[in-house]
A and B are shown apart, each in its own frame.
Chain A
Amino acid sequence: MIRHHLSDALLTGYAAGTLPEAFSLLVATHVSLCDECRARLAALDAVGGALLDRQEAVPMAEGALTATLARISGTRPEARPMSRPQPGLFPEPLRAYVGGDAEAVRWRPVGGGVRQAILPTASGASARLLYIPAGTAVPDHGHHGTELTLVLQGAFRDETDRFARGDVETADEALEHTPIAEAGDPCICLAVTDAPLRFNGLIPRMLQPFLKI
């Protein structure tokens, strides 16, 4: 049961197509797991549809229809593709960035048993997978900008609440927290941010340049 969802502002940005790529990846991954947010997103897409429908028409060039008919002539609309839910940990949009499911991730240790893998996305925001062994704490840290964390396996707790598979924690400048992975499976999360993380402890701060975040 997912208890922590995406904000309206974030879903609106995704519907409008203005989010940085890393944020779009997190939204698409969460929506894959959450029918509630899928329905909210469909409602926000409908706002876009209503805006499109009410535009003042700007005439197309002469011959535009003929040119388009020429492009599609001799083709038939494709049949609806049959899709089945894939077993595994990562929904399809995340698999496309990893090149497979969890076993395909190329983890790099970042200290304290924590591992991460930075995913290739356009500039403006960054995305990474985090692997936190059960019972391990991620160093106490604050945030510049916005950081979103989506749990894919296991669960973590911090000063605010508990977060399990499908839950999204939204952290902004006001939040200083120490997430701790629960006992059981290692906690695997997708984290995206539009600014570098800053750690409060001396050693994590020295490590930060190597984290490339």
Chain B
Amino acid sequence: MTIEDDGARHCAQMLAVARHADQAAFAALFAHYAPRLKAFLMKSGATAAQAEDCAQDVMAIVWRKAGQFDPARASVATWIFTIARNRRIDLLRRDRRPEPEDLPWGPEPEPDQADALALQQDSQRLGEALAQLPEEQRTLIERAYFGDLSHSEIAEATGLPLGTIKSRIRLALEKLRQRLS
């Protein structure tokens, strides 16, 4: 099973949770993501017990907010990452986390299949590019995302092909704006 297949399967499972409150699909997502969330949170400075609790919290939020997952704008991994990041801020820093204003959602609930597929493929390529970075550079990026670097220590994210996925999302935003105007 390749990561690409995994990405498509997780996407289908996420949509099954959102549309049908599908507990079996949720259990499958839990099996994949909860142990990875726990690992991620432990690397971010949480104890094993905190990471365990927090990973369960994050998965409960994944269930509750499933309707907000948009496969044309994020992979399942990315969407779950953003939830985990925000929970980590609550847990370790207790700061408020201001979020951008939500985009105006239209009444149209079906994401464009082609857009969603293209975004999932871009996400996969980004993951591969990340894995192929020189060790030193990859470690630096990991440290930044594990909260191990202060904001003033974080350098520009160079060497990652972010332009492709950025352009894809930019187009999705333009389409959304056009539909609403």
* Residues of chain A having any CB pair with chain B under 8 Å: 7-10, 12-13, 15-21, 23-25, 27-29, 31-32, 35-36, 38-61, 64-65, 67-69, 71-72, 75-86, 91-94, 96-97, 121-122, 146, 194
Query: How many chain B residues touch A (Cβ–Cβ < 8 Å)?
Result: 90
Partner of B78, one of A7, A10, A45: A45
**Top 3 nearest A-B pairs by Cβ distance?**
A49-B78, A57-B35, A49-B77
- Majority DSSP secondary structure for residues of B touching A: helix
- B24-52 interface with A by 8 A CB criterion: 26-27, 30-31, 33-40, 42-43, 48, 51-52
From A38, A51, A83, contact of B130 by CB (8 A): A51
Q: Are B126's CB and A47's CB within 8 A?
A: yes
Q: A65-B27, A83-B103 are in contact. Are A16 and B154 (CB under 8 A)?
A: yes
Given A47-B160, A58-B38; 9 other pairs, CB 8 A cutoff: A12-B157, A15-B85, A17-B88, A28-B101, A46-B162, A54-B127, A77-B21, A77-B67, A93-B101
The reply to whether B126 and A31 form a contact with Cβ atoms under 8 Å apart is no
A48 near B104: Cβ-Cβ < 8 Å: no
With A28-B99, A35-B173 known as contacts, the answer to whether A45 contacts B130 (CB < 8 A) is no
In the complex the two chains form, is B151's CB within 8 Å of A68's CB? Answer: no
Q: What are the residues of chain A within 8 A of B105 when measuring CB–CB?
A: 80-83
Give the distance to chain A from B98, nearest Cβ to Cβ, in Å.
4
Check B67–A19 contact: CB distance below 8 A.
no
**Majority DSSP secondary structure for residues of A touching B:** helix
In the bound complex, what is the Cα–Cα distance between A92 and B104 (angstroms)? Answer: 12
Inter-chain contact count A-B, CB under 8 Å? 244
For B38-75 the 0/1 string (1 means CB < 8 A from A) is 11101100001001100110011001111110000111
A47 to chain B: which residues have CB within 8 Å? 126, 130, 141, 145, 157, 160, 162
| Contact, CB under 8 Å: A31 / B104 | no
Please tell me if the beta carbons of A16 and B98 are within 8 angstroms of each other in the complex.
no
Chain A residues, Cβ within 8 Å of B23: 69
Residues of A within 8 A of B60 (CB): 68, 71-72
Partner of B39, one of A20, A57, A76, A84: A57
Q: Is the CB of A60 within 8 A of B34?
A: yes
Option from A43, A78, A121 in Cβ contact (under 8 Å) with B169: A43
Known contacts: A50-B130, A52-B80. The answer to whether A68 contacts B100 by CB under 8 A is: no
Flag if B3 contacts A53 (CB, 8 Å): yes
Q: Mark B146-171, 1 if CB is under 8 A from A, else 0.
A: 01011110111100101101110110
Partner of A39, one of B55, B88, B169: B169
Can you list 8 pairs linking A and B with CB atoms under 8 Å apart? Answer: A18-B144, A38-B100, A64-B56, A79-B67, A80-B67, A82-B105, A83-B104, A92-B101
| Interchain nearest-CB distance for B95 vs A (Å) | 5
User: Which residue from chain A places its CB closest to the CB of B58 in the assembled complex?
Assistant: A68
- Contact call A49/B98, Cβ cutoff below 8 A: no
